[in-house]
Structure 1
Amino acid sequence: MSTSPDMLAPPQDQDEIWSVADHIARGLRVEHADVSSTLGAITDVAVATVPGTTCAGIIVADTDRHLTPMATAGSIPLELDELQRHLGHGPCLTAARKQVVVHIEDMAADHRWPEFRGGARGLGVESMLCLPLQIDDRCLGALSLYATSAGAFDQRAELVARVLATQAVLAMAESQRTAQLRAALDRRDVIGQAKGILMERHRITAEAAFARLSAASQSVNRKLVVVAEQLVATGVLPGPA
């Protein structure tokens, strides 16, 4: 069944929860983290930290809200992600699309996704916990935890998983921002190189070189950075001679 936040009992040992949160934060601290490394760290920490977890997987939403498997700890999540993609529904997709926690306590007794249930039990999965990953109103995807026994995820496990999901969202958002910044710097660098080539070749100013790049971009209907990359790679500026 899906579980709402107010159904969770408060932690009996606040020190233990803070200790778990600190352990999770340390586990997600990846030096020079790119998105792929961050997602891999999240699934590894999930298996190591959330009681009962046998394996874990993350599906990520792109700008068009398409959901794609991006990281797994163990082979089972990828197989079940592919099954859900084929069926068009399932617990992981529901958690991501509706931004709700999906808890399957006993796969044998859960009848919401019968075709998925058969595939999951065939791989030895008897319980699951799927948590949405969102920041503000933006859906980042879902983190799914798998166990080989029914009832593996009790209230403490769900609480730890929620702490992990919160930390994971922050780590994912930061790695995505870093990736966007790196891409922007790379684009600026290649455009600068292309301008330098034109300035040297035609003895023109930086402004005039940029104008030539812009004109070439419009004439061939390609992004300016693509035109710049072609010029840097081949020495040829696309467009009319």
Structure 2
Amino acid sequence: MAKPPYSPPGSRREVRGALADGLVGLAETPNDASLIDDLLQRIVQLTADLVAPVSYASVTRTRDGAPTTVAMSSEIALAVDLAQYADQTGPCLDALDVGVPVAVPDIAATMAWPRFREAALGLGLRASLSIPLFAGAGVPVAALNLYGHDPDMMAPLTDRVWTVYDPERTRTGASDPPSSDPGTEELVSGLIEAFGVRAVIQQALGMIMHQRHSTAEEAYLILRVEAAETGRSLIETATSTRQHDDRPIPGS
């Protein structure tokens, strides 16, 4: 699939397509759902196809206590991931651990991750961005790793993603960088909507915690069970909980 051409700076347009749908769908999906890996594969391939600065993409998850690549657009992305796993450190692992994007604007200049640097440079990559993704429980379940050949093209993408994850940055003027390309705008749009979904679910969990004097984990289980018993999605159940915060919680 050919990537769409860049839009001129300032030609911002609202985009909602398959990539944004995938990110929102992931945020609405229970963490233990079997379809999460399918969603991640869809997100990876669409990102590599649509986001112009991105040459290759992959997704890192933790399985049985160890990081693993569960989706990739190319074996090249996998090779860079594996170098990080072998070193037990790297931008994809940091993003998954700390829950914020980790950017490497100039791979040649980074000293923090030697195996990552060597593998990426050897494959012609010059910049990367790892983005934590979350499912219904609201905690990171994966890192979306974006690898590019051109640091100048990756920079606007990194800035746009950071405005989603760091509201303080948005308010202080580093804020709202110019549009880069339609694929970047769709990725950012999806992340923004995913955060909106997470906010609704987290508010519902807070109400359940207050009513039931439960932990966050217990509240999530209550919400998850209610969704299953009523045949509604997690976000539908959370929305209903917010709208009726004084109703009895099932099982109370």
* C-alpha distance after superposition, 1:72-115 (max 9, x if no partner): 00111211221111110011101111112111111112222123
The AA in structure 2 aligned to 1:101 is P
Distance 2:157 2:122 in 1: 27
Aligned to 2:62: 61
Question: Residues 156 and 59 of structure 1: is their aligned pair in 2 closer, same or farther, counting only changes over 3 Å?
Answer: closer
Is residue 2:73 matched to residue 1:78?
no
Amino acid corresponding to residue 60 of structure 2 in structure 1:
I
1:22 aligns with 2:23: no
Contact 1:106 1:151 in 2 (8 A): no
* Equivalent in the alignment of 1:139: 140
Report the alpha carbon displacement of residue 56 of structure 1 after superposing the two structures with TM.
0.2
| Kept in 2: contact 1:57–1:145 (CA 8 A) | yes
Partner residue in 2 for 1:45: 46
Structure 1 ranges of 4+ moved more than 6 A: 27-30, 167-170
Query: 1:55 and 1:168 mapped to 2: Cα distance?
Result: 23
Q: Is the 8 A contact 1:55 1:145 kept in 2?
A: yes
Larger radius of gyration: 1
1:90 aligns with 2:90: yes
Aligned counterparts, 1:1-241, within 5 A: 12-13=10-11, 16=13, 18-19=14-15, 21-25=16-20, 34-62=35-63, 66-135=66-135, 137-156=138-157, 158-159=159-160, 160=184, 161-165=187-191
| Structure 1: distance between partners of 2:24 and 2:139 | 23
Gaps (5+ residues) in structure 2? 1-8, 26-33, 161-183, 198-223, 229-252
Equivalent pair of 1:51/1:157 in contact (CA under 8 Å): no
Residue 214 (structure 2) aligns with = none
Separation (CA, whole Å) in 2 of partners of 1:99 and 1:26: 21
Aligned match of 1:222: none
For the residues of structure 1 that align with 2:116 and 2:124, how far apart are their CA atoms?
12
Q: Is the 8 A contact 2:23 2:191 kept in 1?
A: no
> What is the CA–CA distance in structure 1 between the aligned matches of 2:194 and 2:24, rounded to whole Å?
10
- Residues of 2 paired with 1:128 and 1:116: CA distance? 10
RMSD between aligned residues? 3.5
Structure possessing the higher relative contact order (Cα contacts under 8 Å, 6 or more residues apart): 2
In 1, Cα distance between equivalents of 2:119 and 2:57: 16
Deviations 1:16-53 (A, max 9, x none): 1x22x3352356799xx933321211011111222210
- Whichever residue aligns with residue 17 of structure 2, its letter is D
SS of the equivalent of 1:111 reads coil
Given the two structures, how large is their TM-score scaled by the length of structure 1? 0.55
Aligned residues: 160
